[in-house]
Amino acid sequence: MTDSMGCPADTCSFEGSIFEVVDHVIESVDEFRYDAHLTEGRRLQENAREARDHGGFDEAIEDLEGALHNFQCAKLFADDVSSIESRCREMLQLIDNLVNQAENATDAGDKAHFESDSNFAGQKYEEAVDALEEARTLATELAPDRVAGIDRHLRSVQVRQESLELSEPHQTVRDLVAAAREHAAAGDRAFHDSEYEVALKEYENARDQYESLADSLQEFSFDESIADSIVCDVCRQRFDGELDSWRINLGVSLQVCPACVRFGSDGNLPNPRTVATEYRAIVENIENIRDGDVGLDWTSDAPLQSDRSEDVGTDGDRRDTRQMLMQLVGLCQQLGAPPSAAELDENTDFGYLDYRNEFGSLSEALQAAGFESQD
């Protein structure tokens, strides 16, 4: 029995006679325990991946629970726990992935619902519910502190499912806010491109939609509870049985039907406070454009123009200073920061050298456009 043999632990390189290996095993019992738990954890983790890929979610969850248990046990006998902690984090990452999947599906469902495609919206909400229920099952075993948050998310999706078919007043609100925000977004894009006349028109259309939206919201009540368990505090519709404890808080706690829950913080219908905030922003944009206040430090009685197709020369005599400043403002707003020389060359009709020749430096050009001086 003098032949040399290796230690049976995969992670150990010890070799010796059988007696030496036995003594080594007795002395290194923690290493064997670590290796056994790590190996079993890896096996279960791989089984879980395969089961999930084939739709066996219950089996995958059971294997993941076993894998995490073994990885946590392995940490008790490891000299360096960093690799084990990494595997534990990998297990918990699956919960995050499922929640993200649910959020994406919910967003897609909301978009479809705004576009009156209730069938597709229902499919996406169902996908979100499936992902959240799977995430909740995992979190119950692996991360109990996350269960409450997942439950809140799950409830908000279930509300959407129960209110796919909206009443006519709810549909009117949905359609008006979608139109208002579409015009507002178009106005923002035009403004960033220095197309101020187009932006003004879009903002005016958005304003009109918001005003109609505010009128439509008059059909709902958001101020007080009527303390009737079968009547929605917001739409005042009477139901055959008690409402299923749906509540929203808009300064006052309101008992609502599933459709009116969409006016709450987790819903996709705007309440009067939200509409008023968005409306004020649009009105300010309109006033600023009409006053010529678009970040430029000059005044002009002429209407704002941004015709980039006009013939603009590059020499000092033909340079349109006003157009230069308007394009500089638009580029700063688009980038969210002062442009570089290369960005000026690429995104304006003039280029860095023209700005330097006209204003002395890029810093001075930014000052003339109403921005703080850049050192």
Q: Could you tell me if 49 and 68 are in contact, meaning their C-beta atoms sit under 8 angstroms apart?
A: no
Is residue 128 pLDDT above 70, yes or no? yes
Long-range contacts of residues 176-184, Cβ cutoff 8 Å, at least 24 apart: 176/209, 176/210, 176/212, 176/213, 176/216, 177/209, 177/213, 177/269, 177/270, 177/275, 178/114, 178/115, 179/209, 180/206, 180/209, 180/210, 180/213, 180/278, 180/282, 181/206, 181/278, 183/209, 184/278, 184/282
**Residues forming a β-bridge with 248:** 254
In a domain, 24, yes or no: no
Please tell me the pTM assigned to this model. 0.48
If asked whether residues 230 and 282 sit together in one domain, one would say: yes
Which of 234, 264, 286 terminates a domain? The answer is 286
If asked whether residues 267 and 296 sit together in one domain, one would say: no
Is residue 270 pLDDT above 50, yes or no? yes
Residue of 210 and 49 predicted with greater confidence: 210
If asked whether residues 120 and 182 sit together in one domain, one would say: no
- Residue 31 has a pLDDT of 57
In a domain, 1, yes or no: no
End-to-end CA distance of the chain: 81
The count of structural domains within the chain is 3
- Residue 309 has a pLDDT of 36
Domain that holds residue 374: 292-375
If asked whether residues 372 and 330 sit together in one domain, one would say: yes
Residue of 63 and 123 predicted with greater confidence: 123
Model confidence band, residue 233 (pLDDT cutoffs 50, 70, 90): very high
Report angle CA 116, 117, 118 to the nearest 5 degrees: 95
Model confidence band, residue 124 (pLDDT cutoffs 50, 70, 90): very high
Question: Residue 190: in which H helix or E strand, if any?
Answer: helix 168-192
- Average pLDDT of every residue of the chain: 77
The span from the CA of 87 to the CA of 261, in Å, is 40
Say what percent of the chain tops pLDDT 90. 17
Structure confidence by residue, pLDDT tens digits, 159-172: 778 777 788 999 89
Lowest mean pLDDT segment, chosen from 231-240, 273-282, 311-320: 311-320
pLDDT (mean) for 294-309: 38
CA dihedral 198, 202, 204, 209 (to 10 degrees): 170
If asked whether residues 110 and 155 sit together in one domain, one would say: yes
- Residue 375 has a pLDDT of 46
The span from the CA of 237 to the CA of 87, in Å, is 53
- Residue 230 has a pLDDT of 85
Which of 256, 286, 316 terminates a domain? The answer is 286
If asked whether residues 276 and 156 sit together in one domain, one would say: no
Structure confidence by residue, pLDDT tens digits, 172-196: 999 999 999 999 999 989 988 889 8
- Residue 308 has a pLDDT of 36
Is residue 272 pLDDT above 60, yes or no? yes
Residue of 173 and 325 predicted with greater confidence: 173
Is residue 9 pLDDT above 70, yes or no? no
